[in-house]
Amino acid sequence: QKEVEQDPGPLSVPEGAIVSLNCTYSNSAFQYFMWYRQYSRKGPELLMYTYSSGNKEDGRFTAQVDKSSKYISLFIRDSQPSDSATYLCAMTRGARGGADGLTFGKGTHLIIQP
């Protein structure tokens, strides 16, 4: 079993829809959870960062962590064509947190249709 599982998509939804992106993980040692957005031919950029189980909201984006189920989600409300990108979940991998690097999901390719 891979440490982090993420459906690569593509996921295609109409503009204005609520988007749900998910990752599951197997390593209980993962502590910090992040979502990165990556546009074509660009480096990933950090969207959301969470530590504890529960929800964290930032504008149209909500990150959700359920450590008991080893499941994280990213919700996008009122989706826009500019949200079309690849979304990567990432988790800290070592005793020194992110200083030991991150473990990434493979990314979900999201397409918002105008």
Partner 1 sequence: DVKVTQSSRYLVKRTGEKVFLECVQDMDHENMFWYRQDPGLGLRLIYFSYDVKMKEKGDIPEGYSVSREKKERFSLILESASTNQTSMYLCASSRQGAGTDTQYFGPGTRLTVL
Residues that bind partner 1 (CB under 8 A): 6, 8, 32, 34, 36, 41-46, 49, 88, 92-93, 96-107
Sorted by sequence, the CB contacts under 8 Å of residue 57 that are 6+ apart come out as none
Q: How near is the Cβ of 97 to partner 1 at its closest, in Å?
A: 5
* Closest approach of partner 1 to the CB of residue 64, in Å: 18
| C-beta of 70 vs 106, nearer to partner 1 | 106
**Would you say 8 or 16 has its CB closer to partner 1?**
8
CB nearer to partner 1: pick between 84 and 108 = 108
Query: Would you say 3 or 60 has its CB closer to partner 1?
Result: 3
